[in-house]
Amino acid sequence: MSAPAILALDFDGVLCDGMREYFETAWRAYRRLRPSVAPEPPRGLFDSFARLRPLVESGWEMPLVIHAVLAGASEAELLSGWRPEAWRRDIGVPRDTIAAELDSVRDEWITADEQGWLDHHRFYPGVIERVRRVAGGPTRVAVVTTKEGRFALKLLRRQGVRLDPDRVVGKEARRPKREILKDLVARHAAGDAARLWFVEDRLKTLEDAARDPALDGARLFLAEWGYNTPEERETARRDERIIPLSLARFARDFPVWLEPGS
């Protein structure tokens, strides 16, 4: 099949680079969890955070990345085995509380300064044009993200991309991406997983989808321009289910995505 019936796209690290926003939001949320911390982040923390971003599956882990770095953990140690639950216990706050702090920081920021919030994000070159082109054709586009869907919708709308809210499935769905993908296959591809293509920058999420027999035949692409490490990209190259995808290929027509070599 040279074009999918459904193209499922992750948001952060595939369409949008919101690194400055993630850090600012995570820092503000962390300060609420640890009010004794200094108001300004220490020098170098942003760069560490950016290098460690591939660890993060869901937003609630971001303040914990900050916590771990400030607690003195080395980047190498964190990259070789990220244990968000252990760091969460160390900070002593329930996961839902951290997630709620993060969303309320975002909501308050948007209310106070929407333009500033939007300006802390940038879309990767060419992705908006590509999504518009796909959305104008026979392939359905869906966005599958671990952030609240309404935040992703707001950012896409600003770019003039108007997807139905039911095509943007976020954290509010409270289901793993693999389950959301299966639901998309059932609803829009008559149960044929081979008609689904999924672009994601987090290797573990793709591996999780690859292990699910109900997703046999689905094309799983690792977005090499997103938040993943050279080691993860190398692992993806050796995995027969996962197809590494460059940003240049993403911008081109579907058959090119399947051509050998990168």
Interface residues toward Mg ion, by CB under 5 A: 10, 12-13, 201
Report d(CA 200, CA 227) in Å as an integer: 9
Strand ranges of the sheet holding 6-9, from the earlier edge strand across to the other edge: 168-169, 140-144, 6-9, 196-200, 219-223, 242-245
What is the closest distance, in whole angstroms, from the C-beta atom of residue 100 to Mg ion in the complex?
21
Residue nearest Mg ion by beta-carbon distance: 13
Closer to Mg ion by Cβ: residue 13 or 59: 13
> How far is Cα of residue 192 from the mean position of the Cα atoms in its chain?
25
Report d(CA 188, CA 199) in Å as an integer: 17
Closer to Mg ion by Cβ: residue 12 or 24: 12
- Residue 160 three-state SS: coil
Closer to Mg ion by Cβ: residue 184 or 222: 222
What is the closest distance, in whole angstroms, from the C-beta atom of residue 10 to Mg ion in the complex?
4
What is the closest distance, in whole angstroms, from the C-beta atom of residue 14 to Mg ion in the complex?
6
> How far is Cα of residue 72 from the mean position of the Cα atoms in its chain?
26
What is the closest distance, in whole angstroms, from the C-beta atom of residue 223 to Mg ion in the complex?
8
83-98 exposure pattern, b = at least 16 Cβ within 10 A, e = fewer: ebeebbeebebeeeeb
What is the closest distance, in whole angstroms, from the C-beta atom of residue 9 to Mg ion in the complex?
10
Closer to Mg ion by Cβ: residue 13 or 63: 13
Closer to Mg ion by Cβ: residue 17 or 103: 17
- For residues 183 and 209, the answer to whether their CB atoms sit within 8 Å is no
Report d(CA 189, CA 246) in Å as an integer: 26
